[in-house]
A and B are shown apart, each in its own frame.
Chain A
């Protein structure tokens, strides 16, 4: 084995090592990107699903197939605060009035997830067990406005004053690579449940 062979071996080791390092780096980047792209897609899908459900339910505040079952729809919102709302509606469009509530759970409930900010968004109908899924909701803010567009300050003592609702939602990944969480934001400006002002 001559000197040049030794140089070849050493050179191969250096080049091979560099290639390996590049490979590891690529792998790391690929995993990070994969988390990033997958997380973003999942967060956006979750957001759209939550928004679809919220819009579907909130637009029906005060609605009942048997309109006489809610004699005064302007009083259909029973309770309202910044992260929860309870209202009368007809969930199945069967002519029977239902009481529906949306509220945000506590951070401690999801302490076992990687994301320290995610919380459950609950949807409860009548006295049934509340339904929820961990979709990565980190913010669910409700802001209420009266018939003149003025913001109603909390606490809201007379929900009948509510004319429109602003909904802000932020969703994040439940888990992320290197704590880099994707965040998606949605705002419904002035959602007006038409039945509130019908009669």
Chain B
């Protein structure tokens, strides 16, 4: 009897220990499984991010790239990359791509017809995904990283980038950003950015060849971030602008076809009209013509071929004004003869649709004349000087020993910088004090046919 009881007791205790042991083992295993699953998800996610970076790199190098990657082994897993590229190609088929294993990350893509059957085979369907809007200016990368059966998706949207988004762009900088200088909007130099002391950069700042800090303290403030190694060459082809002006805008050119210089004087009127006259070669100025901007240039481009432009006034509407050189010395300049303002100031009215782009193959200058000298000058525009710089005439840098202000709302994009005043140890004492505000609309809005950069830029990254 006692022996049986002892055996039962031992068996009972053993059973209890087994149950508890099993339970504790399960709990320990659960904890590890839980972290293990998180690790697998993280790894799949990291593979997808790497794949997206690799694909973005391909698109930066060649904006027509659309091959993608198929079942590439990477870090113990695999990745697939699909590219929908509407930027340069046409004749694509629109599908709704549903990533296998991750249907919530569906995305509308525009692909060559040769790629469609493979997509339909894994569950995609023709036509856009519900709620998606097609954007013919966009390239889309869909990167799927798979690790141990888990698939994660990263979606990247890219678009052409326009020079107008810059508050300041210079291929090279001759005047160092220094203590007391404040730069608004995105800033780029395609050389090395050298700063002296503590200049302040409010927008994202990029430089191709890195940053050098000098002075004391060496502490530039980058309040929108800084990135090195970003190559954005200053180049553009005016053919598209010329064509747009020819088809739906206005081209000023030598109508005698003798390649003479064609100069144009323009005045923007606040009611939306434009008053202009032109002069071909050494001939007389034509009589003035006043016409609505929407009539003379419905697409918003005016193109002066082989000449210079003289402008002033209050603009109502959208316009990009181009001064081309076309190989003729002394041409391709834009001269501001008085204030240039928007009819509706975007600082007061963020919905203002008044936008001006000034594109000069050479320089953009504030002209020394009775309207400008000694007075403050206002320029509201995004200004682009391909082979030169932007600033006042030489005489205005002295300004008869008077110091005034040049108030800019917009951006300056030029090959080099230009001084606007003469300085002593205190600061500027004659010429023009540089007072620059960035027009925030240019982060997303572009003056008609304004030059774009060579490469695409990432506008949205979803992971």
Write the residues of chain A forming the contact surface with B, with a CB cutoff of 8 angstroms.
19, 26, 30, 33-34, 37-38, 40-41, 44-45, 48, 51-52, 59-60, 63-65, 67-68, 71-72, 74-75, 93-94, 146-148, 158, 160-161, 163, 194-199
Identify the interface centre among B28, B34, B224, B458: most chain A CB within 10 Å of its CB.
Answer: B224
What chain B residues lie within 8 Å of A198 (beta carbons)?
Answer: 457-461
Whether the pair B223, A160 counts as a contact (CB closer than 8 A) is: yes
Contact between chains at B202 and A160 (CB < 8 Å):
yes
Chain A residue contacts of B186, Cβ below 8 A: 199
How far does the alpha carbon of A65 sit from the alpha carbon of B108 in the complex, in Å?
Answer: 12
In the complex, how many angstroms separate the beta carbon of B69 from the nearest chain A beta carbon? 20
Per a CB cutoff under 8 Å, which of B35, B165, B226 touches A148?
Answer: B226
B155 to chain A, nearest CB (A): 10
Task: Please state if B443 and A194 are interface contacts (CB–CB under 8 Å).
Answer: no
Say yes or no for B62: interface residue by CB 8 A criterion: no
Residues 21-55 (chain B) with a chain A CB within 8 angstroms: 23-24, 27-28, 30-31, 34-35, 37-38, 41
Q: Mark B423-445, 1 if CB is under 8 A from A, else 0.
A: 00000000000000000110110
**Pairs A–B under 8 Å by Cβ, sample size 9:** A19-B9, A26-B13, A26-B16, A30-B16, A44-B31, A51-B38, A67-B157, A71-B443, A199-B443
Complex formed: what's the CA distance from A45 to B27 in Å?
Answer: 11
What is the CB-to-nearest-CB distance from B459 to chain A, in angstroms, rounded to a whole number? 4
Q: What are the residues of chain B within 8 A of A63 when measuring CB–CB? A: 460-462
- Interface status of B203 (Cβ within 8 A of chain A): yes
Say yes or no for B192: interface residue by CB 8 A criterion.
Answer: no
Report if B101 contacts A (CB, 8 A). Answer: no
B227 and A74 within 8 A (CB)? no
Partner among A48, A65, A67, A199 whose Cβ is within 8 Å of the Cβ of B204? A199
Closest 8 CB pairs of A and B: A71-B443, A194-B461, A37-B27, A67-B459, A67-B460, A74-B224, A147-B226, A68-B444
Known: A34-B24, A45-B30, A195-B461. 7 other contacts (CB 8 A): A26-B16, A48-B35, A48-B37, A52-B38, A67-B157, A160-B224, A199-B165
* Complex Cα–Cα for A52 and B27 (A): 21
Q: Which residues in B have their C-beta under 8 angstroms from that of A160?
A: 202, 223-225
State A30–B19 Cα separation when bound (angstroms). 11
Q: Is B20 an interface residue (CB 8 A)?
A: yes
Q: Are B457 and A40 in contact (CB under 8 A)?
A: no
Asked whether A147 lies within 8 Å of B27 as measured between CB atoms, the reply is no
A75–B202 CA distance with the chains assembled, in angstroms: 10
**Closest Cβ–Cβ distance, residue B146 to chain A (whole Å):** 18
- Most chain B C-beta atoms within 10 Å of own C-beta, residue among A26, A158, A199: A199
CB distance from B421 to the nearest CB of A (A): 29
Evaluate contact between B24 and A37: CB separation under 8 angstroms.
yes
Q: Does B222 contact A (CB under 8 A)?
A: yes
> Is B70 an interface residue, CB under 8 A from the partner?
no
* Contact indicator B463/A194 (Cβ below 8 Å): yes
For A19, the closest partner residue in chain B by CB is: B9
Cα of A195 to Cα of B27 in the assembled complex, Å: 39
A40 touches B27 (CB 8 A): yes
Across the interface, which residues of B come within 8 angstroms of A30, CB to CB?
Answer: 16, 20
Measured between beta carbons, the chain B residues less than 8 angstroms from A94 are 131
Task: Please give the distance in Å from A64's CB to the nearest CB on chain B.
Answer: 7
Nearest Cβ on chain B to A91's Cβ, whole angstroms: 12
- Measured between beta carbons, the chain A residues less than 8 angstroms from B225 are 74, 146-147, 160-161, 163, 196-197
Name the interface residues of B115-134: CB closer than 8 Å to any CB of A: 131
Least Cβ distance of A183 to chain B in Å?
A: 14
> Chain A residue with minimal CB distance to B165?
A199
A8 to chain B, nearest CB (A): 10
Alpha-carbon gap, A146 to B225, bound state (A): 7
Are B157 and A161 touching (Cβ within 8 A)? no
| A-chain residues with CB within 8 Å of residue B9 when the two chains form the complex | 19
Q: How far is the CA of A54 from the CA of B20 in the complex (A)?
A: 35
**Could you tell me if B443 and A65 are in contact, using CB atoms closer than 8 angstroms?**
no
Residues of A close to B37: CB separation below 8 A: 48
Chain B residues with CB below 8 A from A197, complex form:
204, 225, 227
Determine how close the nearest CB of chain B comes to the CB of A4; give it in whole angstroms: 15
Question: Contacting B35 at CB < 8 Å: which of A33, A34, A44, A158?
Answer: A44
* Complex Cα spacing A72 to B186, Å: 9
Q: Which listed residue (B16, B223, B443, B460) contacts A161, Cβ 8 A?
A: B223
Docked-complex contact B462 and A72, CB < 8 angstroms: no
A68 to chain B: closest residue by CB: B444
Q: Which residue of A lies closest to B211 (CB)?
A: A148
Residues in B whose Cβ lies below 8 Å from that of A48 = 34-35, 37-38
A195's nearest neighbour on chain B, judged by CB, is: B461
Determine the chain A residues whose CB is within 8 A of the CB of B20 once the complex forms: 30, 33-34
- Distance from B350 Cβ to chain A, minimum over Cβ atoms (Å): 10
CB nearest neighbor in B for A64: B460
B residues less than 8 Å from A72 (CB atoms): 203, 224, 440, 443
- A-contact 0/1 string along B196-229, CB 8 Å cutoff: 0000001110000000000000000111111100
